[in-house]
Every structure is written in structure tokens, then in C-alpha cells.
A and B are shown apart, each in its own frame.
Chain A
């Protein structure tokens, strides 16, 4: 049903949409990074679309990502876009579902923020920043939301060591069991 949305989106923004796909009934549009805000604004305000319900924001870490089931697409660049940032939107009136995906390379993890359009994305983008380190440009208050300020690194990245601990407080009267403190000094 929502193939219609993808077609309309591609017709409206031929430059901004790098390609579209449908996986397991989910319509996905890959948007170029600089045009994300324009596209989302159109999707929200156009009377044929009316994507008024934000569902979630998250990121996917493709540390060793290579497109296996399709040829190298236009959005694939030499610096290997490591992260995908997903914005799931829903149109309550027309019952459309649409996922916008943005490729973000590792050395420049920026992504436009949609929190000005959808205020509910504010905390979700903060969570994505907290866990993956994606900098959302134009976000009003981009700081950690779950973890403490002293935390270094982004724990849901695939290269974060599984057993690395960053303790805030430890006992000072007894030595810590070395088995329990695995990864303490990593």
C-alpha cells in the first residue's frame, strides 16, 4: 500500500532519495543526509501524506557492512558509511508506514535532527547519541540521557569492548576480586 508513498517521494525529490526498497513489508527510503529535513517536512505537511506520528529513531552499526543482496548503490561511498540512522514515521490518517534511513560515515557522524518537526524525537535522538555517538545537528539539547557524564565512548557500537566497565564508585577498603574486575584496566 505504501509503495505509493515511496513512488510519490521519489517523484517529488528525485535528487534527495538515493533509492527505495521494501523489506518484509516495511517501506524504506534512503535519503541523502543534507536533504533529510526537507523531505521530512514535506512528508509531515503534505495533505496527501500527513506523516504526523513519530515512532522511533535508532541507529544501526554496520561495522563490516557490505551490500550482499544488491549491487553497490549510489549512496555507497569509498569511506564506508558505517552507521545507518533510521527514522520510523507513521501517518495516522492514511495508515502509511515509512522508514527514512540516512547513511552516516564513521569519521563524520553527523545527521540532521528532526526534533524541530517532531518534538517526540528529542529524547530518542539523545538516546541514539548516547549509545552510538551520532551528532544530531540542530538538536536543542544534545547530551547523554541514560549514561552518566563521566562515561567515555559509546557502548552500543560494535567495537566497544563487551566487558569494559567504567565505574563511578568502588570500595576503597578491600582489594577487588580480579575475576570480577575483568576489563577494569582495558
Chain B
């Protein structure tokens, strides 16, 4: 993720922070009905099960249950190490998801590659797909995951998710072009 692009996005978000009532209501609905797709590849999956189970209960936040089809989900949870060989599969799963969609990198391996620094491990799944929230930890504590989920919900509410920003930017560009053509 390039630094300059990130700052641009934050400025954009501040500029677009003014939401209409309809947008606010839509985002409120989105943040409480996250359908997650767990892309579980490694040992972090155990921790994900713990979070999704009744003790920590991710369902409290509206992420009710995992859908095992990318077309029915809007939150991609990348749980575990991503290898270079797996990159095309991950990108394809992400591309199959319908907009708007969000990505949660679960654990250091999915965020940065973790302690794998060698030929097969991808240095973070953000090399392939845009990630909204990173969760550190090897594996992360369930509280960290819940915290990240709350951060993601805030982000969705304020319309700062990657796919939301992209959609909005495309809308603005289209409107500008339509205006210049007239």
C-alpha cells in the first residue's frame, strides 16, 4: 500500500464525509449485516473458530454466520498464511464478491507474511487485494478481532471502506464527465 495514495484516500474521505441521510441509513444497515467469508488457510483458523463460537460470539456484531460462497458474502476474512501459489485463488475469490465488500487481514501472516521470509510466502495479502483492517498477533486474541470488527464497522458507517471509496470516486468522476460533456 503506497503511503501517498493512503493519505489521498483519507483526505478524500474527509471531503466526502458529508453523507446524505440515505447513505447514512444504508451504511448503518451494512455494518450490522456483515456476511463473512472465512478464507482459512492456516492455524489462525482455530482462533477464528474461537471468535465465531459462542464464548466470544462474533454474531453479536451482526456478522451472523460465515457464508461459504463469495457471491453471498461481503466481508472477506483472510485467516492465515497466504502463499504465492495461492495468490490467484485469493484474488479470484475477492473478485467474485459483490460490491460493496471489505477485507479483514487476520493475523500477522495475512497482514505482512509474519515470520515467513522465504520463497513461498506472500508478504501480506495486501499484495493482491486491498485490505481494510489489519489484525496483528500470532494468532490474535479474540478481543483483538472484536476490536478490529468494531473498527471495521466504524469504517463502514463513515463510508471509508476501500470499495465504498472506489465506488464513490467513480460516481464523482462519472458526474464530472457528464457535466463537462453538457
Number of chain A residues close to chain B: CB under 8 A: 21
A167: Cβ under 8 A from any B Cβ: yes
| C-alpha spacing A116/B124, complex, angstroms | 42
Known: A148-B85, A166-B84, A168-B87. A174 touches B130 (CB 8 A): yes
Contacts of B128 in A (CB 8 A): 169-171
Residue of B nearest to A178 (CB): B2
| C-alpha spacing A168/B91, complex, angstroms | 11
Whole-angstrom distance between the Cβ of A184 and the nearest chain B Cβ: 10
Known: A174-B130, A180-B112, A180-B124. A167 touches B118 (CB 8 A): no
Which of chain A's residues 157-184 have a Cβ closer than 8 Å to chain B? Answer: 160, 162-171, 173-177, 180-181
Whole-angstrom distance between the Cβ of B66 and the nearest chain A Cβ: 25
Whole-angstrom distance between the Cβ of B169 and the nearest chain A Cβ: 12
Whole-angstrom distance between the Cβ of A159 and the nearest chain B Cβ: 13
Report whether B5 and A175 are in contact in the complex, using a CB–CB cutoff of 8 Å. yes
Which of chain B's residues 108-138 have a Cβ closer than 8 Å to chain A? Answer: 112-113, 117-120, 122-124, 126-130
Whole-angstrom distance between the Cβ of B159 and the nearest chain A Cβ: 19
A147: Cβ under 8 A from any B Cβ: yes
Report whether A160 and B119 are in contact in the complex, using a CB–CB cutoff of 8 Å. yes
A54: Cβ under 8 A from any B Cβ: no
Report whether A163 and B87 are in contact in the complex, using a CB–CB cutoff of 8 Å. no
B88: Cβ under 8 A from any A Cβ: yes
A105: Cβ under 8 A from any B Cβ: no
- A-B contact number at CB 8 A: 56
| C-alpha spacing A148/B117, complex, angstroms | 18
Contacts of B122 in A (CB 8 A): 165, 167
Report whether B130 and A168 are in contact in the complex, using a CB–CB cutoff of 8 Å. no
A112: Cβ under 8 A from any B Cβ: no
A109: Cβ under 8 A from any B Cβ: no
Contacts of B22 in A (CB 8 A): none
Known: A167-B84, A169-B88. A177 touches B1 (CB 8 A): yes
Report whether B117 and A162 are in contact in the complex, using a CB–CB cutoff of 8 Å. yes
Among all A-B residue pairs, the 10 with the closest Cβ atoms: A155-B119, A175-B2, A169-B87, A180-B123, A169-B88, A168-B87, A148-B85, A169-B91, A167-B84, A168-B88
Instruction: Show the binding face of B for A, using Cβ within 8 Å.
Output: 1-2, 5, 84-85, 87-88, 91, 112-113, 117-120, 122-124, 126-130
11 pairs from A and B in contact (CB 8 Å cutoff) = A165-B119, A167-B87, A167-B127, A168-B84, A169-B128, A171-B128, A175-B5, A176-B2, A176-B127, A180-B123, A180-B127
Beyond the given pairs A155-B119, A163-B118, A174-B2, 12 more chain A to chain B contacts, judged by CB atoms under 8 angstroms and listed by A's residue number, are A160-B119, A165-B119, A166-B119, A167-B87, A167-B127, A168-B85, A171-B129, A174-B130, A175-B5, A177-B2, A180-B112, A180-B123
